Amino acid sequence: MKKLSTLVAIGATAALALTACGGSNSGGSSTPNAAPTDKVLHLSFLQDPGQPPDPDIYYAGQGLILTTNTYEGLLQYKAGTDKAELQPLLATEWTASPDNKVFTFKLREGVKFHDGTPFTSAAVKASFDRRAAVNQGPAYMVSDVDSVTTQGDYGVTITLKAPNSAFLDYLACPYGPRMLSPEGLQKNAGTDHAQGYLTTHDLGTGPFTLTAAEVGSKYELTSFPDYWGTKPYFEKVELPVITDVSAQQLQFNNGQLAAILHDLPSSAVQSYLDNKSFANYSLPTMMSNFVYINPKKGMMTDAKNRNAVMQAIDVDELVKQTYFGRGKKADQVYPANMMAPEFGKQSVTHDPSVLSGIAASLPADQKSVTIGYDSSNPDNQLISNLIQTQLAAAGLNAKVQAYPTSEIYGWVGTDGQSAPEIMTYLGWPDAPSPYTWGHISWDADGGLNFFGCSAPAVTAALAKGLPTGDDADFSTAGEEAVKTGCWLNVANVNDFMVAQPWLKGVEQAHVVTDPNTLRLSALSVG
């Protein structure tokens, strides 16, 4: 996730759109459900987003659909492809200095914020300042900004304190700086830089505006009548929180939901692959499923033991049991679609005998471990159960436990004692730069480094590659990360989505860097 939050060909995950429409029945409705005539799109969340839809705070997975459809940044990534290709958004032109330190932008004219005020260069500085002041997870993307200088209403220059080859990726990625109304921020500032206001309202320029945000219950988006771009077909998007995956599927099968965009369990994937009443899509992402090991707890404080646990995991079996139709075994430590296949190689030989030998000599209280997973991810419940069986065969006593997303992020920066020894985790980069993933996952201060594992050689290689973006340096960082025994990339995972056959534009609305979501303005009825 975050890191989730950014974002070119790792072992090319093809942009497969496995579309199946028709009238036969295999567990769902016997005839295709009729398209709505009221221009209301019904979707859902499997769990509450867990954080307010404030672009300077939101840093998770489910919920991107709110922030990416209500707010816009200076740049974006092209939709409908497996490559992270920069495109204009609120900036129409841009240049970068040869040393990746000074960036100039020509801004789009005729854009209005949702509060009716015009978008000008003043908003760039106000938005960057607000992100730094709020200082939540995504704030690192503006921490190295030295100055924001305006040239009239529609020109701006951003100067960094040091060269950063990832900066344009930060501006385009789903967690990057979004433009907020300066007048709206001032009017609703309160004592928290408008954080209270932005839990139930928005101050963006996107095609939709936030019209309901009832935590644990429902969210709603409404099309913005003065949007500068192509007007959305759907005038309203309703997103109830349906915490039971079976209930979610039942509502979809009965035509109450137009699509399910995320977190379908493997059993459901198979049923929808076989069901010709619905359309299904396996779309390329930068998501990968990782195993994390906590180096601060129990037997895992020894790197030899951590690497032995990784060797005991039968990755081929995990992928076979969990990701058929929407993923494949990873052979790089970086997420999918980020680096050419020769870089960041991950070589962990499956050999459970190494752990068996270690486990036989451990005292009884050192043989018990917990395998954790995010409660919103049914695939990782299955993967955790499979790992539990594999580790038990090697001599460990493993139990499986679910944790909410908010608790998982709460482990960052702690002594790791309240966290499990092992965690399975579906993650993706904030931005498509290898530096970004390496920094947030492997540096000691990274927002996805839940257990605080790091190594000087990793940090040094990342720092060396940052000014120029040299993949060879990032490859070295990945190889050094594997040596710690703290991370294993199990599988590169596609976005598997199912939709009613009348919902058009799903492939064109999907962005490789933005998992679990679609650009809603690209959807229509056909």
Q: What is the pLDDT of residues 250-294, one digit of tens each?
A: 999 999 999 999 988 888 999 999 999 999 999 999 999 999 999
Say if residues 32 and 501 touch (Cβ distance below 8 Å).
Answer: yes
Same domain, 108 and 194: yes
Give pTM, 2 decimals.
0.85
- Tell whether 254 is covered by a domain: no
Same domain, 504 and 384: no
- Tell whether 8 is covered by a domain: no
Question: Is the confidence at residue 20, as pLDDT, over 50?
Answer: no
The reported pLDDT for the residue numbered 267 is: 85
The reported pLDDT for the residue numbered 60 is: 85
Reduced to 3 states (helix: H, G, I; strand: E, B; else coil), residue 35 is coil
Same domain, 350 and 426: yes
Q: Which residues contact 388 (CB under 8 A, 6 or more apart)?
A: 371, 398, 399, 400
Same domain, 321 and 194: no
Question: Is the confidence at residue 168, as pLDDT, over 70?
Answer: yes
- Tell whether 262 is covered by a domain: no
Percent of the chain with pLDDT strictly greater than 90: 85
Q: DSSP readout, 476-511?
A: HHHHHHHHTTSEEEEEEEEEEEEE-TTEE-HHHH--
Residue 162: pLDDT band with limits 50, 70, 90: very high
Number of domains present in the structure of the chain: 2
More confident residue, 26 or 467: 467
- Tell whether 508 is covered by a domain: yes
Same domain, 505 and 429: no
The reported pLDDT for the residue numbered 378 is: 85
Question: Is the confidence at residue 328, as pLDDT, over 90?
Answer: yes
Tokens of 330: 């990873």
Mean pLDDT of the chain: 92
Residue 137: pLDDT band with limits 50, 70, 90: confident
More confident residue, 61 or 506: 506
The reported pLDDT for the residue numbered 402 is: 97
- Tell whether 205 is covered by a domain: yes
Centre a 10 Å sphere on the Cβ of residue 235 and count the other Cβ atoms it contains.
15
Classify 242 in phi/psi space as left (phi over 0), alpha (psi -120 to 50) or beta.
beta
Same domain, 456 and 398: yes
Question: Is the confidence at residue 237, as pLDDT, over 80?
Answer: yes
Question: Is the confidence at residue 364, as pLDDT, over 50?
Answer: yes
Residue 405: pLDDT band with limits 50, 70, 90: confident
Q: The domain containing residue 317 runs over which residues?
A: 288-493
Residue 28: pLDDT band with limits 50, 70, 90: very low
